[in-house]
């Protein structure tokens, strides 16, 4: 029998803008040996698979195909991007009811097919849908760490980008996170922002800039408004979330123990209610393997608590 012990299989469920941008990035980055694509619209998944496959001679061998839930039985990771898209002016929380049913159905079907993958939820509102997915998966025997959401990995990347542009330095050296909801109540954590270990305020001072309240408020607003700004211009966001998902997939498939701001069960941490939201998490082969809930400044902790309350309230509509 063929030895497939090295194989890494990723299933992508939902081949719209986000699913296809992610699959494309995944193929280029060669993080998986097998990529299976699923969509309610089977022909769309087939079209995407063909389009990707035609690039394989220029990238390297990989098994890319359109499949069904049975193909998820041996997937290491299932990335869920199935659902409705955010329309201009529509808030993420308005998408809730429509997408909750889809998320629950997808998780049930993968588990019914015999799969025990790590689930990476992306469909919005991602924090609420991560909670929904957890509530389906855990009673069916999946460890809680194996279900988490992309959360604010993208928002943290946007935050880092804006800081790097302001100070004129390589964004890879900029360390800054956004915690809480992937959405309007998210929290930019200024107290821990640093550039290669040097506090951001210090770097800015040396650059002749002030990390004052007005600056922080404007940048936090720009981070929060980023998705609206893009959707207003191109109708959807997909490219950077595709890259962000690859970064998370890399951490899981490579068992990298990376600390990433993914959405996880946060109940009881920082006094939070029963919600999923983004905290700095240790991400490895088992999914979320730990949460680094280090102290925050009082105003940041209060904002995080408020974000948790917003999510808790919004999920009440599901009952």
Catalytically active residues are: 182
Residue 126, interface with ligand NAD (CB under 6 A)? Answer: yes
DSSP state for residue 84 in the 8-state scheme: P
Query: For residue 142, what are its two tokens?
Result: 């999946």
User: Applying CB under 6 A, which part among 39-47, 62-70, 133-141, 308-316 lies near ligand NAD?
Assistant: 39-47
User: Applying CB under 6 A, which part among 32-40, 162-170, 171-179, 298-306 lies near ligand NAD?
Assistant: 32-40
Contact 10, 77 (CB under 8 A): yes
Task: Write the binding mask 238 to 267 for ligand NAD: x where contact by CB under 6 A, - elsewhere.
Answer: x--x--------------------------
DSSP string, 244-290: HHHHHHHHHHTT--EEEEEEEE-TTGGG--S-EEEEEEEEETTEEEE
Tell the smallest beta-carbon distance from residue 80 to ligand NAD (Å). 9
User: Can you say how many angstroms the Cα of residue 288 is from the centroid of all Cα atoms in its chain?
Assistant: 12
Query: For residue 105, what are its two tokens?
Result: 């159905």
Q: Return d(Cα 74, Cα 181) in angstroms, integer.
A: 31
Our CB check for ligand NAD shows the closer of 195 and 276 to be: 276
Q: Return d(Cα 281, Cα 244) in angstroms, integer.
A: 15
Task: Write the binding mask 183 to 222 for ligand NAD: x where contact by CB under 6 A, - elsewhere.
Answer: ----------------------------------------
Q: What are phi and psi of 278, to 5 degrees?
A: -85, 130
Quick one: which of 42, 236, 289, 302 contacts ligand NAD (CB under 6 A)? 236
Residue 93, interface with ligand NAD (CB under 6 A)? Answer: no
Our CB check for ligand NAD shows the closer of 123 and 177 to be: 123
Residue 284, interface with ligand NAD (CB under 6 A)? Answer: no
Taken in order 68, 74, 75, 80, the sign of the CA dihedral is positive
In Å, how far are 100, 123, 183 from 241, measured between CA atoms? 20, 11, 14
Triad 208, 209, 211: Cα angle to 5°:
145
Residue 18, interface with ligand NAD (CB under 6 A)? Answer: yes
Please give the helix or strand (H or E) that residue 167 lies within, else none. Answer: helix 153-167
Our CB check for ligand NAD shows the closer of 128 and 193 to be: 128
Query: For residue 10, what are its two tokens?
Result: 């990723």
Tell the smallest beta-carbon distance from residue 46 to ligand NAD (Å). 12
Tell the smallest beta-carbon distance from residue 196 to ligand NAD (Å). 27
Contact 266, 293 (CB under 8 A): no
Q: Return d(Cα 49, Cα 63) in angstroms, integer.
A: 10
Task: Write the binding mask 137 to 176 for ligand NAD: x where contact by CB under 6 A, - elsewhere.
Answer: -------------x---x----------------------
Quick one: which of 10, 11, 12, 15 contacts ligand NAD (CB under 6 A)? 15
Quick one: which of 9, 10, 100, 122 contacts ligand NAD (CB under 6 A)? 122
Contact 60, 66 (CB under 8 A): no
Tell the smallest beta-carbon distance from residue 93 to ligand NAD (Å). 11
By CB under 6 A, name the binding residues for ligand NAD. Answer: 13-19, 38-41, 44, 81-86, 95, 99, 102, 105, 122-124, 126, 150, 154, 182, 236-238, 241
């Amino acid at each position: 029998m063929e030895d497939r012990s090295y194989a890494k299989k990723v299933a992508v469920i939902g081949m719209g803008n986000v699913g296809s941008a992610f699959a494309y990035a995944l193929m280029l980055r060669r993080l998986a040996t097998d990529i299976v694509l699923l969509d309610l619209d089977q022909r769309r998944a087939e079209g995407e698979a063909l389009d990707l496959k035609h690039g394989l001679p220029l990238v390297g061998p990989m098994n890319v195909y359109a499949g069904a839930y049975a193909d998820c039985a041996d997937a290491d990771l299932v990335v869920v991007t199935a659902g409705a898209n955010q329309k201009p002016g529509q808030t993420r929380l308005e998408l809730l009811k429509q997408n909750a049913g889809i998320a629950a159905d997808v998780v049930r079907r993968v588990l019914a097919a015999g799969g025990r993958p790590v689930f990476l939820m992306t469909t919005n509102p991602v924090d609420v849908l991560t909670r929904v997915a957890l509530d389906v998966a855990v009673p069916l025997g999946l460890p809680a760490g194996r279900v988490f959401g992309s959360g604010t990995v993208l928002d943290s990347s946007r935050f880092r980008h804006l800081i790097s542009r302001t100070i004129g330095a390589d964004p890879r050296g900029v360390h800054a996170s956004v915690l809480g909801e992937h959405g309007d109540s998210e929290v930019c954590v200024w107290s821990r922002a640093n550039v290669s270990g040097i506090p951001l305020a210090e770097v800015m001072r040396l650059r002749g800039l002030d990390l004052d309240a007005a600056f922080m408020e404007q940048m936090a607003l720009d981070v929060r408004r980023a998705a609206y700004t893009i959707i207003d211009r191109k109708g959807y966001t997909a490219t950077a979330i595709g890259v962000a998902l690859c970064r998370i997939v890399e951490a899981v498939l490579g068992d990298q123990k990376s600390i990433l701001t993914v959405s996880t069960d946060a109940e009881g941490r920082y006094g939070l209610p029963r919600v999923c939201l983004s905290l700095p998490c240790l991400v490895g082969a088992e999914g979320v393997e730990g949460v680094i809930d280090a102290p925050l400044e009082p105003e940041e902790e209060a904002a995080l608590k408020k974000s948790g309350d917003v999510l808790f309230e919004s999920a009440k509509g599901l009952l």
